[in-house]
Amino acid sequence: MRLILALVVGAAIGAAAVWYYSNSQNRARVQSAGNQIEDAAKSARDTVQDKLRVFDLRTNDIKDELARTGQVIRRKAQEASKAIADATADARITGAIKTKLLTTSDLSALSISVNTTAGIVTLSGTVPSTDAISKAMLLAMETDGVSEVVSTLQVKPKPASDQPAAQPQARKTAG
């Protein structure tokens, strides 16, 4: 009987030890997960606070600006208007260069493509000589707002169609 009682008590102590060990491991896992969630939340809160500070969107900043100017404008809106202004300037530059090409007799505006991005002009297409590349680049460089000219123009001589074609000779028939 003592043996059975010792087995039951031993089993109970073993079960309690297993339960305690597994509970302490689960507590450690839950605590670790809780710490990770807390750290992530703190990091997210800090990131949001940093963004609010960078864009001056804190409550006091907005109140001050409303009191001072009656409106709230931030960099993103200002950057958008700058991008629109830049695009307008680029279109103006491209148009001015195309107009210059149209008025120059030895350059073909149809065979030269003009693309402008942030003041950088790219000329592409074909021209009859390297001299024509120089002239096209000079026209572009002399345009207001141009900061750089990149040429990918290719020299393709005009076909010899300006020369008269050979006339076939009529055959004489004996007759």
Residues 1 and 62 in one domain: yes
**Per-residue model confidence as pLDDT tens for the chain (175 residues):** 777 877 788 888 888 777 776 766 666 666 766 677 777 767 777 777 776 666 666 778 777 877 888 776 665 555 556 666 777 888 999 999 999 999 988 888 889 999 998 889 999 999 998 888 999 999 999 999 999 999 999 988 877 655 555 555 555 555 5
- Rounded CA-CA distance 148/119 in Å is 7
Same domain, 83 and 154: yes
- Examine residue 101 and state whether it is found in any structural domain, yes or no: yes
Helix, coil or strand: residue 164: coil
Q: 100 and 65: one domain? A: no
Residue type, position 14, single letter: G
Other residues' Cβ atoms within 10 Å of the Cβ of residue 128: 15
Query: Does residue 126 share a domain with residue 68?
Result: no
For residues 99 and 144, membership in a common domain is answered with: yes
Give the per-residue pLDDT at 5.
Answer: 76
**Domain identity same for 68 and 84:** no
In a domain, 173, yes or no: no
Number of domains comprising the chain: 2
Residue 171 lies in a domain: no
Q: pLDDT at position 174, please?
A: 55
**Inter-residue contact 139 to 104 (CB < 8 Å):** yes
Domain range for 32 is 1-72
- Residue 63: the pLDDT is 79
DSSP class per residue in 84-101: HHHHHHHHHHHHHHHHHH
Would 142 be classed as within a structural domain?
yes
Is the residue at 55 inside a domain? yes
Predicted TM-score (pTM) of the model is: 0.47
